[in-house]
Protein backbone atom coordinates (compact mmCIF):
# COMPACT_ATOMS: atom_id res chain seq x y z
CA UNK A 1 0.00 0.00 0.00
CA UNK A 2 2.82 2.40 0.86
CA UNK A 3 4.55 1.51 -2.38
CA UNK A 4 1.49 2.48 -4.47
CA UNK A 5 1.25 5.88 -2.76
CA UNK A 6 4.92 6.50 -3.30
CA UNK A 7 4.61 5.78 -7.03
CA UNK A 8 1.66 8.16 -7.32
CA UNK A 9 3.54 11.00 -5.64
CA UNK A 10 6.50 10.49 -7.94
CA UNK A 11 4.25 10.67 -11.05
CA UNK A 12 2.67 13.91 -9.85
CA UNK A 13 6.03 15.51 -9.18
CA UNK A 14 7.24 14.59 -12.65
CA UNK A 15 3.96 15.42 -14.53
CA UNK A 16 3.28 18.96 -13.16
CA UNK A 17 6.48 20.60 -14.48
CA UNK A 18 6.02 18.90 -17.86
CA UNK A 19 2.43 20.20 -18.14
CA UNK A 20 3.54 23.75 -17.28
CA UNK A 21 6.22 23.70 -19.98
CA UNK A 22 3.78 22.38 -22.60
CA UNK A 23 1.23 25.11 -21.74
CA UNK A 24 3.83 27.88 -22.05
CA UNK A 25 4.98 26.52 -25.40
CA UNK A 26 1.42 26.45 -26.80
CA UNK A 27 0.76 30.03 -25.62
CA UNK A 28 3.88 31.34 -27.33
CA UNK A 29 2.99 29.53 -30.56
CA UNK A 30 -0.51 30.94 -30.68
CA UNK A 31 0.71 34.47 -29.92
CA UNK A 32 3.08 34.29 -32.86
CA UNK A 33 0.19 33.32 -35.12
CA UNK A 34 -2.16 36.17 -34.16
CA UNK A 35 0.45 38.91 -34.08
CA UNK A 36 0.28 41.26 -37.10
CA UNK A 37 2.52 44.11 -38.11
CA UNK A 38 1.08 47.63 -38.42
CA UNK A 39 -0.20 48.39 -41.89
CA UNK A 40 0.33 51.93 -43.14
CA UNK A 41 -2.13 53.17 -45.76
CA UNK A 42 -0.61 55.79 -47.96
CA UNK A 43 -2.87 58.49 -49.33
CA UNK A 44 -3.20 58.27 -53.08
CA UNK A 45 -3.22 61.48 -54.92
CA UNK A 46 -6.45 62.20 -56.70
CA UNK A 47 -6.32 62.36 -60.45
CA UNK A 48 -8.24 64.70 -62.65
CA UNK A 49 -12.05 64.15 -62.59
CA UNK A 50 -13.83 63.05 -65.70
CA UNK A 51 -16.64 65.26 -66.90
CA UNK A 52 -19.43 64.13 -69.17
CA UNK A 53 -19.08 66.13 -72.31
CA UNK A 54 -22.11 66.30 -74.57
CA UNK A 55 -21.85 67.02 -78.21
CA UNK A 56 -23.69 69.94 -79.75
CA UNK A 57 -26.07 67.57 -81.51
CA UNK A 58 -27.10 65.93 -78.24
CA UNK A 59 -27.60 69.31 -76.57
CA UNK A 60 -29.83 70.42 -79.46
CA UNK A 61 -31.96 67.26 -79.19
CA UNK A 62 -32.47 67.81 -75.45
CA UNK A 63 -33.39 71.43 -76.03
CA UNK A 64 -36.00 70.51 -78.67
CA UNK A 65 -37.59 67.92 -76.38
CA UNK A 66 -38.08 70.53 -73.66
CA UNK A 67 -39.96 72.90 -75.94
CA UNK A 68 -43.70 72.93 -75.08
CA UNK A 69 -46.21 72.50 -77.95
CA UNK A 70 -47.72 75.73 -79.14
CA UNK A 71 -51.48 76.14 -78.87
CA UNK A 72 -53.39 76.90 -82.03
CA UNK A 73 -54.83 80.37 -82.28
CA UNK A 74 -58.38 81.03 -83.35
CA UNK A 75 -57.11 82.31 -86.69
CA UNK A 76 -55.47 78.96 -87.41
CA UNK A 77 -58.81 77.07 -87.35
CA UNK A 78 -60.32 76.18 -90.73
CA UNK A 79 -63.20 78.43 -91.84
CA UNK A 80 -66.77 77.04 -91.61
CA UNK A 81 -68.39 75.71 -94.78
CA UNK A 82 -70.39 78.26 -96.75
CA UNK A 83 -74.18 78.34 -96.36
CA UNK A 84 -76.13 77.36 -99.44
CA UNK A 85 -79.66 78.64 -99.98
CA UNK A 86 -82.22 77.30 -102.37
CA UNK A 87 -85.81 77.95 -103.36
CA UNK A 88 -88.70 75.92 -104.70
CA UNK A 89 -87.91 77.02 -108.25
CA UNK A 90 -84.46 75.43 -107.99
CA UNK A 91 -85.97 72.00 -107.22
CA UNK A 92 -86.98 70.20 -110.38
CA UNK A 93 -89.04 67.12 -109.56
CA UNK A 94 -90.96 65.10 -112.15
CA UNK A 95 -94.70 65.44 -111.94
CA UNK A 96 -96.70 62.21 -111.50
CA UNK A 97 -98.79 61.15 -114.43
CA UNK A 98 -102.04 59.18 -113.90
CA UNK A 99 -102.83 57.11 -116.96
CA UNK A 100 -105.80 55.17 -115.56
CA UNK A 101 -109.40 56.38 -115.59
CA UNK A 102 -112.15 55.98 -113.03
CA UNK A 103 -114.77 53.35 -113.96
CA UNK A 104 -117.87 54.84 -115.50
CA UNK A 105 -120.23 52.20 -114.10
CA UNK A 106 -120.13 50.22 -110.85
CA UNK A 107 -121.50 46.69 -110.57
CA UNK A 108 -123.49 47.04 -107.38
CA UNK A 109 -124.76 43.50 -107.60
CA UNK A 110 -121.39 41.95 -106.97
CA UNK A 111 -120.69 44.32 -104.08
CA UNK A 112 -124.04 43.61 -102.45
CA UNK A 113 -123.36 39.88 -102.66
CA UNK A 114 -120.15 40.26 -100.71
CA UNK A 115 -121.58 42.55 -98.03
CA UNK A 116 -123.83 40.83 -95.51
CA UNK A 117 -125.75 42.18 -92.56
CA UNK A 118 -123.75 42.40 -89.33
CA UNK A 119 -124.06 39.37 -87.12
CA UNK A 120 -125.37 40.19 -83.63
CA UNK A 121 -125.16 37.26 -81.24
CA UNK A 122 -127.89 36.86 -78.63
CA UNK A 123 -126.83 36.67 -74.98
CA UNK A 124 -128.46 36.07 -71.66
CA UNK A 125 -128.39 38.46 -68.72
CA UNK A 126 -124.99 38.39 -66.95
CA UNK A 127 -124.03 40.10 -63.63
CA UNK A 128 -121.34 42.74 -64.06
CA UNK A 129 -121.46 44.42 -60.61
CA UNK A 130 -121.43 42.16 -57.52
CA UNK A 131 -121.25 43.95 -54.14
CA UNK A 132 -119.55 42.07 -51.30
CA UNK A 133 -122.04 40.08 -49.24
CA UNK A 134 -121.88 40.25 -45.45
CA UNK A 135 -122.21 37.42 -42.95
CA UNK A 136 -125.35 37.88 -40.79
CA UNK A 137 -124.20 38.65 -37.23
CA UNK A 138 -126.52 36.14 -35.52
CA UNK A 139 -125.53 33.34 -37.90
CA UNK A 140 -121.85 34.16 -37.36
CA UNK A 141 -122.17 34.09 -33.56
CA UNK A 142 -123.99 30.75 -33.65
CA UNK A 143 -121.46 29.32 -36.16
CA UNK A 144 -124.14 28.50 -38.73
CA UNK A 145 -123.24 28.15 -42.41
CA UNK A 146 -125.81 28.43 -45.18
CA UNK A 147 -126.63 28.98 -48.84
CA UNK A 148 -129.41 30.71 -50.76
CA UNK A 149 -131.01 30.51 -54.19
CA UNK A 150 -132.16 33.99 -55.17
CA UNK A 151 -134.67 34.33 -58.03
CA UNK A 152 -135.17 37.69 -59.74
CA UNK A 153 -136.13 39.49 -62.94
CA UNK A 154 -133.84 41.86 -64.86
CA UNK A 155 -135.21 44.75 -66.92
CA UNK A 156 -133.76 46.11 -70.18
CA UNK A 157 -131.38 48.41 -68.24
CA UNK A 158 -129.86 45.52 -66.22
CA UNK A 159 -131.56 46.42 -62.92
CA UNK A 160 -132.97 43.48 -60.86
CA UNK A 161 -136.47 43.46 -59.37
CA UNK A 162 -138.97 40.92 -57.98
CA UNK A 163 -136.21 39.46 -55.78
CA UNK A 164 -137.12 36.31 -53.80
CA UNK A 165 -134.60 34.33 -51.75
CA UNK A 166 -134.92 30.70 -50.64
CA UNK A 167 -132.23 29.78 -48.03
CA UNK A 168 -131.19 26.79 -45.91
CA UNK A 169 -131.69 29.02 -42.85
CA UNK A 170 -134.10 31.92 -42.59
CA UNK A 171 -131.37 34.03 -41.00
CA UNK A 172 -129.74 34.48 -44.43
CA UNK A 173 -132.85 35.63 -46.35
CA UNK A 174 -132.65 39.35 -45.56
CA UNK A 175 -128.93 39.64 -46.43
CA UNK A 176 -129.39 37.62 -49.65
CA UNK A 177 -132.19 39.85 -50.95
CA UNK A 178 -130.35 43.02 -49.88
CA UNK A 179 -127.07 42.23 -51.66
CA UNK A 180 -128.76 40.96 -54.86
CA UNK A 181 -130.84 44.14 -55.10
CA UNK A 182 -127.54 46.00 -55.59
CA UNK A 183 -126.36 43.73 -58.43
CA UNK A 184 -126.16 45.19 -61.93
CA UNK A 185 -126.49 43.00 -65.04
CA UNK A 186 -125.80 43.12 -68.71
CA UNK A 187 -129.35 42.91 -70.07
CA UNK A 188 -130.49 40.08 -72.26
CA UNK A 189 -129.95 40.73 -76.01
CA UNK A 190 -132.24 39.39 -78.73
CA UNK A 191 -131.53 40.43 -82.33
CA UNK A 192 -129.50 43.37 -81.14
CA UNK A 193 -132.08 44.69 -78.69
CA UNK A 194 -131.98 44.60 -74.89
CA UNK A 195 -135.05 42.94 -73.46
CA UNK A 196 -136.39 41.93 -70.07
CA UNK A 197 -135.11 38.66 -68.58
CA UNK A 198 -137.35 36.81 -66.15
CA UNK A 199 -136.63 34.13 -63.57
CA UNK A 200 -132.87 34.66 -63.23
CA UNK A 201 -131.33 32.40 -60.53
CA UNK A 202 -128.42 33.83 -58.49
CA UNK A 203 -126.83 31.41 -55.96
CA UNK A 204 -125.17 32.68 -52.78
CA UNK A 205 -123.20 30.84 -50.10
CA UNK A 206 -121.85 31.62 -46.61
CA UNK A 207 -119.12 29.52 -45.02
CA UNK A 208 -117.13 30.10 -41.83
CA UNK A 209 -113.90 29.23 -43.55
CA UNK A 210 -114.01 32.35 -45.79
Can you give 57-73 as a three-state secondary structure string?
Answer: HHHHHHHHHCCCCCCCC
More confident residue, 98 or 186: 186
- Tell which wins on pLDDT, 78 or 29: 29
Label residue 29 by pLDDT band (50, 70, 90).
confident
Assess if residue 171 is contained within a domain.
Answer: yes
pLDDT at 51: 47
Is 83 part of a structural domain of the chain?
A: no
Interior angle at CA 29, CA 25 and CA 33, nearest 5: 170
| Residue 167 domain flag | yes
Taking alpha carbons only, the member of 157, 158, 147 closest to residue 202 is 147
Does a structural domain hold residue 194?
Answer: yes
Beta pairing partners, 189: 123, 194
Q: CA 105, 110, 111, 113: dihedral to nearest 10 degrees? A: 160
| CATH number of the domain that residue 132 is part of | 3.30.2420.10
| Predicted confidence (pLDDT) at residue 144 exceeds the cutoff of 60 | yes
Q: Which residues contact 156 (CB under 8 A, 6 or more apart)?
A: 187, 194, 195, 196
Is residue 121 a part of any domain in this protein? no
Lowest-confidence range among 8-12, 40-44, 144-148?
40-44
Do the Cβ atoms of 188 and 196 come closer than 8 Å?
Answer: yes
- The pTM for the full model equals 0.42
Cα radius of gyration rounded to whole Å, the chain: 65
185 vs 198: CA distance, rounded Å: 13
Q: Would you state the pLDDT for residue 13? A: 73
Residue 42 lies in a domain: no
Query: Does residue 180 register a pLDDT over 50?
Result: yes
Whether 180 maps to a domain, the answer reads yes
Which residues, including other chains, have CB under 8 Å from residue 173's CB and lie 6 or more apart?
148, 165, 167
Bridge partners, 184 (sequence order):
129
User: How much is the average pLDDT of 16-23?
Assistant: 80
**Confidence class of residue 67 from pLDDT cuts 50, 70 and 90?**
low
Average pLDDT over residues 60-82: 66
50 to each of 46, 47, 53, 74, 120, how far by Cα in Å?
Answer: 12, 9, 9, 51, 115
In a domain, 191, yes or no: yes
Phi and psi torsions of 160, nearest 5°: -80, 150
Give the separation between CA 46 and CA 158, rounded to whole angstroms: 125
Number of helices followed by number of strands (H, E) in the chain: 5, 7
User: Tens digit of pLDDT for each residue in 127-137?
Assistant: 999 999 999 99
- Please choose, from the candidates 208, 138, 139, 152, the residue with its C-alpha nearest in 3D space to the C-alpha of residue 180: 152
d(CA 176, CA 141): 18
Range in 67-71, 165-169, 190-194 with the lowest mean pLDDT: 67-71
Provide the mean pLDDT of the chain. Answer: 77
Domain range for 191 is 126-206
Query: Averaged over 64-92, what is the pLDDT?
Result: 67
| Structural domain total, the chain | 1
Amino acid sequence: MNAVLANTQVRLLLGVPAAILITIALFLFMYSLIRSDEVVIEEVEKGPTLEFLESKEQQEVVRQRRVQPRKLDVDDKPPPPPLLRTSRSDINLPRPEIKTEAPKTIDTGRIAARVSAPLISDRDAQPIVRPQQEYPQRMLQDGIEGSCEVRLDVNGQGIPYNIRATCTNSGFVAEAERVVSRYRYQPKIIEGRSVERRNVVQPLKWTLGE
